[in-house]
Amino acid sequence: MMTMGDGTKISMKTIKDAITDPFNRHLYILQRYDIKVSMAFVYTPADVHYLPKRIRENVRNSDEIVQLHDELFAVFFSHVDYSGAHRACQKLIHNLSQSHKPVHASIMEIFINESAHSLIQKNMHLLAEVKDNSEPSLEDIIAYESIH
């Protein structure tokens, strides 16, 4: 469970239900064509109705956005290696943070043996640690796993 800025709680099941289809689609493309994909959870406590539009303006057309809650989005960065996805996510955070409250994100590369459930758990854990910070942040699963 993760508590959003408006006090509502979002469960792992809700998130898993929302991202299972896009996750499986990208996993299939990775398996079949070896096209890299990373997934980020992007969170901002701002109650801004145009946030989905702002996110879309700051990612490529080939990137897929799934709105999980008013304040929480999953972004699938495909056709780019992990470092490129990481840079794209940093740019997204920087651009959104200039006009909103701080934006936080966690990002990880999807691997063939990855399950949607484990990916969600890792991303939600990282995001929960930083979502109340006053400064924008991007948590990296690879860096997190190397220090824990």
pLDDT digits (tens, 9 = 90+) for 106-143: 899 998 888 888 888 888 887 877 777 777 778 775 54
pTM for this structure? 0.86
pLDDT of residue 100: 60
Q: What is the pLDDT of residue 143?
A: 42
CA distances, 89 to each of 9, 104, 115, 118, 148 (Å): 25, 10, 22, 21, 23
* Residue 76 and residue 64 in contact, taking contact as beta carbons nearer than 8 Å: yes
What CATH code is carried by the domain that includes residue 42?
Answer: 3.30.70.270
Structure-token pair, residue 79: 């056709």
Residue 50 neighbours by CB distance under 10 Å: 9
Give me the residues of the chain with pLDDT under 70, please. 5, 46-48, 100, 141-148
Find the domain containing 40 and state its range: 2-147
Q: How far apart are CA 113 and CA 17, in angstroms?
A: 19
Q: How many domains does the chain have?
A: 1
d(CA 87, CA 99): 19
C-alpha distances in Å from residue 128, one per residue of 85, 122, 147: 21, 10, 17
